[in-house]
Amino acid sequence: MKQLDIRFDFIQGLLIFAAIFAFVGLGLISAFVMNGDGLYLYVGTLFSMTWLFIIPAMYHRWRQLRLYRRGSMIVTKYERVIDAKKAISDQGGRSGPYYVKTSWHDHRTNTIYTFKSEILLKNPERYLQGIAGIDVYIDPKNFNRNYMDLQFLPAHFNVRKLQ
What are the Cα distances from residue 107, in Å, to 43, 111, 113, 116, 154? 57, 7, 11, 20, 33
Query: 152, 149, 142, 158: which is closest to 69 by C-alpha?
Result: 149
- pLDDT by residue (tens digit) across 20-36? 888 888 888 888 888 88
- pLDDT by residue (tens digit) across 56-90? 878 888 888 889 999 999 999 999 999 887 655 55
Q: What is the pLDDT of residue 33?
A: 87
Q: What is the pLDDT of residue 41?
A: 86
Average pLDDT, the chain: 83
- R_g over Cα of the chain: 21
| Res 7 pLDDT > 60 | no
Q: What is the pLDDT of residue 21?
A: 84
Distance CA(129)–CA(75), nearest Å, equals: 16
Q: What is the pLDDT of residue 1?
A: 44
Q: What is the pLDDT of residue 91?
A: 55
pLDDT band, residue 149 (cuts 50/70/90): very high
Signed CA dihedral, 43, 47, 48, 50: sign only: positive
Specify the length of the chain in residues. Answer: 163
Q: What is the mean pLDDT of residues 128-136?
A: 92
What are the Cα distances from residue 86, in Å, to 25, 51, 53, 81, 103? 39, 32, 27, 11, 21
Q: Higher-confidence residue: 128 or 18?
A: 128
